[in-house]
Amino acid sequence: METVTVNELTPNDLPWRIEWDPCLCKLCGSCVAACTFQAIRVSVEARSYVYSQGDVPTPLEGERYAVPVIKQTATVQQHCVGCGMCEKTCPNRAIRPRRNEDSRWEIFAREGGSPIKRGGRANLNAGDRTFDKIVVGRISQMTDPSLDAERHTFDILAPFGRVLPADKMPLSVKDGKLSLNKPLPPVRWIYPLIFGDMSIGALSPRAWEAVCLAAACLNEKYNLPVRMCSGEGGMPMRLLKSKYLKYMILQIASGHFGWNRIVKAMPEMQEDPAGILIKIGQGAKPGDGGLLMAAKVAPHIQAIRGVPKSDLLSPPNHQGLYSIEESVQKMFLSMNAAFKFRVPVGIKTSATASSVSIYNNLLRDPYHIVGGYFIDGLYGGTGAANEISLDHTGHPIVSKVRDCYLAAVAQGRQGQIPLWGAGGVGMTGNAAADAFKLICLGANGVSVGKILLQLMGCIGNDHSRCNSCNTGLCPTGITTQDIKLVRRLDVDKAAQNIVDYVRAFDQELRKLMAPIGNSSLPVGRSDALVATDKAVAEQLKIPYAC
């Protein structure tokens, strides 16, 4: 008899249980090799049998023997995350993870006294999306014709840069024509979909390269001027000095990682970057600084960021930046010093109850240097965060974009500082629908991140599957710096998936613009939407329909 050890973990306590079928298993060991989390191992178990012969049952001990098995590990450090790589690898499909509804993970995972950390997105309430309670309900029928998504031309571009009101533009009339007396603040007209800030430390070099490749291909081959934001931490010298820099938005976050290199590369830059984004906060973990675990600080990351191998923490705020005025000043300085007013500079904060105050302050920008307000909502993804931040802090994006837009409307300043929304766009797979709705509510464009990872092969989801981006053990080679794992990712295929998706996104946007009869983006055209939920309708100031 064995002792009952109540406090020891068994697979039944874990979020995922492994089902292994010994009849199908050919004991090749592929699953064990594939599992980056060491959540399964090859083991040997004792077996015996008892038999009975004759008319009266007389149990006799048969053989005792040992069998090789695939066994689930049950520790906090090495637990199955449900990634399914074992199943993908198994030639006989003899093994698979199953979600365990009796999991006690939340109870014991803080072993050692430290908070749960993970990547991915908020897992709570993720199914209850405002986006899905809004429908494009104003369809052109009798009074105005719909357009033809295939035949008509559509102008699908969004501004990034400070837009001056008409009466503030340095215009004069010469010979019956308007002319500009001096240059305007830089404004780039870009595709209304930005590849959101994922740093080269958070992503593997291959994954980062795939996103870059996709952006370049969309620009050069398909004429879709998609821009990619570097994320904090800089980028390779080669890219900084290449002509592709024009597709990149450089991010400066509170850790200022990588900026040394950027500054050093400046004299040799062939092109200006597409823009600069000052990151104040992030939707996935508002108020929490950046986090790159030491496991992911590989030599090339150390070089790009100029740091030793250790956990890299960006402070939760920019040191020495205590007010909106200062942040505007900071943009001013960085622009002035760095790119001589040729490059638009925007600011990104996590969505918060105070986003409207922030936007109102930005709108007053006396220097005309705030080139965009990027709001990152609750369901934004992250490479690493405390789970408590991920699940319990943040602010949904939809009403925030709307509130900011209406705040600008109240002052007659809509459009002057472009509004970009992010945080859960494309969460259910259709980014075009989400983007379109956000645009009708007042956003100029959207930024996406998680869906790009998913297109590259990430199997993580918002129901606790995988989300191990913080561990450096990403099973798909996307958010790891482990060279063996990185090799799992096929760069070309990953890039191709993104390209295909964005091309379809473009078609899908047209399919939504055509029926409402619009050939340019319906920014702020809230009358095109109806809500199927009264509270949503009321909050967003759009009609309710049922």
Partner 1 sequence: MCRVGAIKSKKYTHPAKVLYLMLPQQKGHDNSGFAMVMQDLGGVFAPYKDLPLLSYAGNTASVEKIHNYMQGKGFTLRFEWSPQTKPQSGLDIALLEHYNFEVYAYPPEYQNAERSVKENLLTNTRLALRAMTEENDAAFVYSFWPDVLTLKEIGNPADIGSYFNLWQEDTDFCAKIITVQCRQNTNYAIVRYAAHPFFLQGYTVLANGENTFYVKNKEFQKSLHRGYLGFESDSQCFLYTLHYLQHELKWPLEYYKHVITPLPFQDLAKREDKAVLLALRQSLPHLEINGPNTIIGVLPDGRVINVNDSKKLRPVVVGGDGETVAISSEVCGLNVILPDRDQEKDIYPNEREMLVIDNNLEVARWKQ
Rounded CA separation 83/97 (Å)? 8
Segment 411 to 430, residues that bind partner 1, using CB under 8 A: 411-412, 414-415
Q: Beta-strand (E) ranges in 425-501? A: 445-448
Q: Which is nearer to partner 1, 154 or 332 (CB)?
A: 154
Q: What share of the chain is helix, strand, coil (3-state, %, to 5)?
A: 30, 20, 50
Decide if residue 416 touches ligand SF4 (CB under 6 A): no
Return the one option of ligand SF4, partner 1, none that residue 166 interacts with (CB less than 5 to 8 A, by type): partner 1
Check whether 23 is labelled as a binding-site residue.
Answer: no
Q: Which is nearer to partner 1, 93 or 541 (CB)?
A: 541
CA torsion 410-411-417-419 (nearest 10°) is -10
Output the CA torsion sign for 149, 496, 261, 117: positive
Decide the pairing of beta strands 177-180 and 227-229: unpaired
Of 389, 374, 376, 384, nearest to 460 by C-alpha is: 384
Nearest distance from C-beta of residue 346 to partner 1, angstroms: 15
Contact assessment for residue 206 and residue 491, using Cβ atoms and an 8 Å cutoff: yes
Q: What is the crossing angle of helices 431-440 and 491-513, to 10°?
A: 40
> Who's near 78: CB < 8 A, 6+ residues apart?
37, 38, 39
Sketch the per residue contact string, 178 through 207, with partner 1: x for CB under 8 A, - otherwise.
xxx---x--x-x------------------
- Compare residues 14 and 441 and give the one whose CB is closer to partner 1: 441
Angle, CA of 247, 233 and 429, to the nearest 5°: 60
- Cα of first residue to Cα of last residue in the chain, in angstroms, is 64
Nearest to 491 by CA among 77, 156, 214, 257: 214
What is the pattern of x (binds ligand SF4, CB under 6 A) and - over residues 55-94?
-------------------------xxxxxxx--------
153 binds partner 1 (CB under 8 A): yes
Shortest distance (Å) from residue 280 CB to partner 1: 25
* 269 scored as a contact of partner 1 (CB under 8 A): no
Which of 176, 267, 320, 366 is the binder for partner 1 (CB under 8 A)?
A: 176
Residue nearest to ligand SF4 (CB): 460
Please select the residue that binds partner 1; options are 3, 48, 143, 319, rule is CB under 8 A: 143
The single residue among 14, 15, 20, 39 that binds ligand SF4, judged by CB under 6 A, is: 39
Selection from partner 1, ligand SF4, none that 468 binds (CB < 5 to 8 A by kind) is ligand SF4
83 is in an annotated binding site: yes
214 touches ligand SF4 by CB under 6 A: no
Least CB distance to partner 1 at residue 416 (A): 8
Binders of ligand SF4 among residues 293 to 312 (CB under 6 A) are none
Compare residues 85 and 147 and give the one whose CB is closer to ligand SF4: 85
Q: How large is the C-alpha radius of gyration of the chain? A: 27
Q: Is 275 exposed, middle or buried (0-12, 13-18, 19+ CB in 10 A)?
A: buried
229 assigned ligand-binding residue: no
* Other beta carbons less than 10 A from residue 462's beta carbon: 20
Establish how many alpha carbons lie within 13 A of residue 477's alpha carbon, considering only the half-sphere containing its beta carbon.
18
Give yes or no for a contact between 28 and 68, defined as CB atoms under 8 angstroms apart: no
Among 50, 166, 353, 546, interactor with partner 1 by CB under 8 A: 166
Is residue 123 packed enough to be buried (19+ CB in 10 Å), middle (13-18) or exposed (0-12)? Answer: middle
Residue 467 binds: one of ligand SF4, partner 1, none (C-beta under 5 to 8 A by kind): ligand SF4
Q: Which position among 505, 517, 530, 537 is part of the footprint of partner 1 (CB under 8 A)?
A: 517
Query: What values do phi and psi take at 41, rounded to 5?
Result: -145, 160
- With CB under 6 A as the contact rule, the residue among 327, 350, 352, 468 that binds ligand SF4 is 468
| 472 contributes a contact to ligand SF4 by CB under 6 A | no
User: Quick one: 177 or 484, whose CB is closer to partner 1?
Assistant: 177
Residues 300-359 that bind partner 1 (CB under 8 A): none
The reply on whether position 435 binds ligand SF4 by CB under 6 A is no
- A 10 A CB-CB count for 236 gives 18
- If one asks whether residue 263 binds partner 1 (CB under 8 A), the answer comes out as no
Among 147, 274, 362, 459, binds ligand SF4 (CB under 6 A): 459
Asked if residue 217 belongs to a known ligand binding site, the reply is no
474 contributes a contact to ligand SF4 by CB under 6 A = yes
Number of other CB atoms surrounding residue 178 within 10 Å: 9
Gap between the Cα atoms of 342 and 275, Å rounded = 9
Q: Which does 522 bind (CB under 5 to 8 A by kind): partner 1, ligand SF4, none?
A: partner 1
Q: Which does 147 bind (CB under 5 to 8 A by kind): partner 1, ligand SF4, none?
A: partner 1
Structure tokens at 164: 């001056």
Q: Which stretch binds partner 1 (CB under 8 A): 119-127, 152-160, 268-276, 374-382?
A: 152-160
122 binds ligand SF4 (CB under 6 A): no
Secondary structure of residue 278 in the 3-state scheme? strand
Please list, in sequence order, all residues whose beta carbon lies within 8 angstroms of the beta carbon of residue 156, skipping any fewer than 6 positions away: 191, 192, 506, 509, 510, 513, 520, 521
Least distance CB 174 / ligand SF4 (angstroms):
57
- Quickly list DSSP for 79-92: ------HHHHH-TT
The annotated binding site for [4Fe-4S] cluster is made up of 80, 83, 86, 90
> Interface residues with ligand SF4 (CB under 6 A)?
16, 18, 34-35, 37, 39-40, 80-86, 97, 119-120, 453, 458-460, 466-469, 474-476, 478-479
> Interface residues with partner 1 (CB under 8 A)?
140, 143-145, 147, 152-153, 155, 157, 159, 163-167, 169, 171, 173, 176-180, 184, 187, 189, 409-412, 414-415, 516-520, 522-527
